[in-house]
Structure 1
Amino acid sequence: MQGGAGLPTGNAFRWRDADAYLFDIDGTLLLSPDRTHRYALHRALLEVYGLETTIDGIAYHGKTDPGILRAAAARAGIAPGVIDQSMADALDVVRRYAAEKAERFRPNVLPGIREVLDLLRNAGKLLGVSSGNLESIGWIKLKSARLAEYFEFGCFADECELRVDIFRKGISEVRRRLGPDATVCFVGDTPDDVRAAQDVGGRIIAVGTGIFKVEDLAAHGPDATVTCCSELLAL
């Protein structure tokens, strides 16, 4: 099997054969041209840490909301202990701002997503999300995009600053629902998604719908690499 850019993937990997599929949100399921989520993070940096700064220049793709806040605060010189002490308050500000501005979220669903989700749901697969968003923000985006109805559960960054821990929770939830031998395939658009899935023993489809080229994603050894989810329909 090959991805859309002619990149080889594992010959033994049959992408439709997993018991459950856990999708990243930003860059995988949808793109958000609005900057509401970004502004929520900026508001937290200002209200909690007193920083008139932004997350511009932070390598935030594939990172979690608390991880992004930590990186921005540390860059501005805030001590690690102070960051930790105030992180819960900062996350509350992010949630509050996003809830107040929920109508401003205008996500665009990426190519092939609805078709792939329909295919998997009709095949009786368990569908969930594993995202670095805070939970309330993740569901706001999914509801705004009319995708929430596809997913039975989600694992988010509220209690997990590292993506690998979010993915580990996803594996645990799948196996709680389906049994200890259930197989899990993650779908994501960053090298962090690939590494996290590999670290927790899941399969991973890397999609080039975020900022990373398929060649760069393939270099990390995912089970499959495609330019967008539409290509999965032919495989």
Structure 2
Amino acid sequence: MATAEDPAGAGPLLVLWDVDRTLVAIGGGVSQETWALAFHRVTGRRPTEFPDMSGRTDRAIVADVLRLNGIASSEPLVAAVYTALADAAEEYAPRMREVGTVLPGARETVAALAAGGTVQTLVTGNLRPIARAKLAACDLTAHLDLSVGGYGADGTDRADLVRRARERATAAYGAPFAGSRTIVIGDTPHDIRGAHDAGALAIAVATGRSPAPELAAADLVLPDLTHHAAAWPGFLAARGLAHLA
């Protein structure tokens, strides 16, 4: 039966994962090198300036990288950068495997949610091929339906990515995932704001560059995902979803 807390009634939950510093960490300067290689292939020169990338979408970052390096943006140019980024990520896959790590509790949490019937995908600022490459490098693609996520090419506002992921998941699974049926898990205030602006819940993990006090607007803040199993039943029960714990 539908309730005020659970307007969709029966049906699974949809968990939308951020990637970088939430599920995995890809060190060694790989991200910036991937961008530099793609930029060089499209423009013929190396970028001299990069914007802050934390929590932002690749669509927004591409526009800023071009602007900061004195190049006028256009849709064909942006599309060319997307293609070059995907190619560069594939080439850097061996390096990602060397320097990539799964963050504490991530693998166990994804597996536990899958065992409980939760639909899981991504809502990430990364382009889809880049997100896939990072997760594959850390052997973390199992249980995640990457076909129904929200990705960096979908917009500059993370709320739009959440909405797009929900639309794709609804079409694929036949469930509306309305309101508290959609839960975003990320590590930045951008993730929290995007979730809430799209009418979803937000769980924040303090495993990125944002300390816990900066994540206080989330519906739940965890030090890392090793604390998820203990907090999950109470989090759901408080929202009328105890039967899904």
TM-score category (smaller protein): 0.7 to 0.9
Residue number in structure 1 paired with 2:108: 115
State the Cα RMSD in Å: 2.2
Greater relative contact order (CA < 8 Å, ≥ 6 in sequence)? 1
Number of residues paired by the alignment?
Answer: 216
1:211 aligns with 2:209: yes
Residue number in structure 2 paired with 1:7: none
Report if the CA contact (8 A) 1:41-1:69 is conserved. no
Report if the CA contact (8 A) 1:129-1:155 is conserved. yes
Q: Could you give the per-residue CA deviations for residues 196-229 of structure 1, whole angstroms, max 9, x where no partner exists?
A: 10111110101111100010111xx211111111
1:104 aligns with 2:95: yes
Structure 1 pair 147–51 and aligned structure 2 pair: CA distance change class (3 A): same
Residue 48 of structure 1 and its aligned partner are, at CA, apart by 2.3
Runs of 4 or more off by more than 4 Å in structure 1? Answer: none
Alignment of 1:44-193 (within 5 A): 44-54=38-48, 56=50, 58-79=51-72, 82-106=73-97, 107-153=100-146, 154-176=149-171, 177-180=173-176, 182=178, 183-193=181-191
What is the rounded CA distance, in whole Å, between the counterparts of 1:64 and 1:222 in structure 2?
20
Residue number in structure 1 paired with 2:222: 226
SS at match of 1:158: helix
Alignment of 1:34-45 (within 5 A): 34-45=28-39
1:31 to 25, 30, 43: 25
Structure 1: gaps (5+ residues): 1-11
Residue 131 of structure 1 and its aligned partner are, at CA, apart by 1.0
What is the rounded CA distance, in whole Å, between the counterparts of 1:25 and 1:55 in structure 2?
24
Q: Could you give the per-residue CA deviations for residues 84-110 of structure 1, whole angstroms, max 9, x where no partner exists?
A: 441111111111111122211132111
Residue number in structure 1 paired with 2:242: none
Report if the CA contact (8 A) 1:49-1:73 is conserved. no
Residue 171 of structure 1 and its aligned partner are, at CA, apart by 1.6
Task: Indicate the larger mover: 90-99 or 45-54.
Answer: 45-54
Residue number in structure 2 paired with 1:197: 195
Residue number in structure 2 paired with 1:21: 15
Q: Could you give the per-residue CA deviations for residues 29-59 of structure 1, whole angstroms, max 9, x where no partner exists?
A: 0100133332121123223234432554x21
What is the rounded CA distance, in whole Å, between the counterparts of 1:54 and 1:18 in structure 2?
47
